[in-house]
Amino acid sequence: MAASSLKGVALEDYVANNLSRFSPDLSLVGRQGKVADRGFDIYARDSKGVDYYIEVKASECNRLSIGQIVEYKANLAKVAHKAKVILVCRDVDAEIKDVLKKIGVDVWTFLDFGVPESLFGYEVEKTGQLKLSPVEQKAYFALLKRGSIIARVEDVSLTLGVSPSWAKNILSKLAGHGAVQRVGRGKYVVIPADVMYGRKSYVADPLVLVNELMKENDYCVAYCSAAHVHGLTEQMPFKTTVAVLKQMRPIEVGNVSVSFVTLKKSRFFGCEGVKYLDVTLKVSDLEKTVVDCVDRPELCGGLSEVVRILLNAFEDKRMNYQKLVLYARRFESHAVAQRLGFILQYLKERKRIHVDSEVFDGLLQLVGSKVYPLDVKASRVGDVSRKWKILDNAGYLEV
């Protein structure tokens, strides 16, 4: 077995053997627990019978591991609503730890848990000094001085007074040193000096990065990311979702993860400029965000989260009813109109929200002849709403 694998096993053993010392209410049930088609390193239970699934990482909690644990938590909630998830890792940023806490994931660091240095030292490896040529240094520090988030070939060409081909070569060399990271043709993210010298991990606001990156493209921040901008969801999106007209590769830079959803032109509408920090972002407006979320719940945290988004959108009374119906019509999807009408009817009856009759009248005109499931990923079992021609296969929708 490789040394790294042995180290991981030793860490799991230490955590499993010291659970009760760190948390007296927890008792070890077994190793390699499995639930929701996902294996966890440790399975424990407290005195009230609540199950705990514990994942042990031999490294810092990076973007990938955090994204995975959020996905595992979401899947776990579907089959074991009361179960808890604990992530044990070397270290974690305090802000991210707070975000995970809000969604029910506790994070214990090795220092918290008392993992001895003999098992896994806390000393961070020192990064060797950069070996940049004088020209590369001049270009890199000029970009830092300008406060550039995205560097383009023309930026370096103008700054240094060199040809575009030479500027492209310099950026390529900087990318090889890790001083910049390529995120598109002729576009590079400038990595801050603190990150370069290993003093901290790369942390950037993904929405500001999107604004800089997409200046020359048609784009629209959409789905859960748009709902977050509009204040319709308390979930912190770990991936920024952007609607585009042409297919683009996803971007991963440090803690930043951006995915692109390609829309056909007829559905690329309802985008508005929104002031965000010091930039103006292109974001789907309130009504288009609602329609998009109903169309693609998997991009918005699932059906239950979509119901919460609609509840918040109607409760804060910013909704333009006529525009909502117009957008549903422009979307040209019976399934979306029928699901939207069904969910609004549910919220009106269960949560007593106010929905103008004109909304229901308009959506009823868009109901087709086919019955669609409310949740496309659930089993096709449930009652059928004759009014909306929706199979209610989602069970109880908690909001």
Kindly report, residue by residue over 12-32, the tens digit of the pLDDT: 888 888 887 677 788 888 876
Mean pLDDT of 218-233: 92
Q: Which is it for strands 240-244 and 219-221: parallel, antiparallel or unpaired?
A: antiparallel
* DSSP-derived 3-state class of residue 165: helix
CA atoms of 289 and 219, how far apart (whole Å) = 14
**pLDDT value at 86 more than 70:** yes
* DSSP-derived 3-state class of residue 225: helix
Kind and range of the H or E run holding 226: helix 223-229
Range name among 99-113, 246-260, 359-373 with the lowest pLDDT average: 99-113
Backbone angles phi, psi at 93, to 5 degrees: -65, 140
Judge contact between 177 and 131, C-beta under 8 A. yes
What pLDDT score was predicted for residue 119? 55
**Tens digits of per-residue pLDDT, 136-165?**
888 888 888 777 788 889 888 888 888 888
Judge contact between 14 and 115, C-beta under 8 A. yes
Domains in the chain with CATH codes: 3-113 (3.40.1350.60), 134-196 (1.10.10.10), 206-392 (3.30.460)
Tokens of 22: 């760190």
Backbone angles phi, psi at 225, to 5 degrees: -65, -40
The pTM assigned to this predicted structure is: 0.60
Judge contact between 232 and 255, C-beta under 8 A. no
In this structure, is the dihedral angle defined by the CA atoms of residues 364, 368, 370 and 372, taken in order, positive or negative? negative
CA atoms of 280 and 308, how far apart (whole Å) = 27
Residue 1 banded pLDDT, cuts 50, 70, 90: very low
Give bridge partners of residue 120 from the DSSP assignment.
none
* DSSP-derived 3-state class of residue 182: strand
